[in-house]
Amino acid sequence: LVPCHRAVGSDGLLTGYGGGLWRKKWLLQLEGAMERE
């Protein structure tokens, strides 16, 4: 299983997340899967 906040589009962009894209981005940054701006 892959947590839904870790699913990204085939182009690498963030796509739909029930908690909001801002929260998805925050979770990915918290896990170190995405660089902070």
Catalytic residue among 3, 4, 5, 14: 4
Residue 4 is among the residues annotated as catalytic for this protein: yes
3-class SS of residue 35: coil
How far apart CA 4 and CA 32 sit, in angstroms, is 16
d(CA 19, CA 37): 20
Q: Which residues carry out catalysis?
A: 4
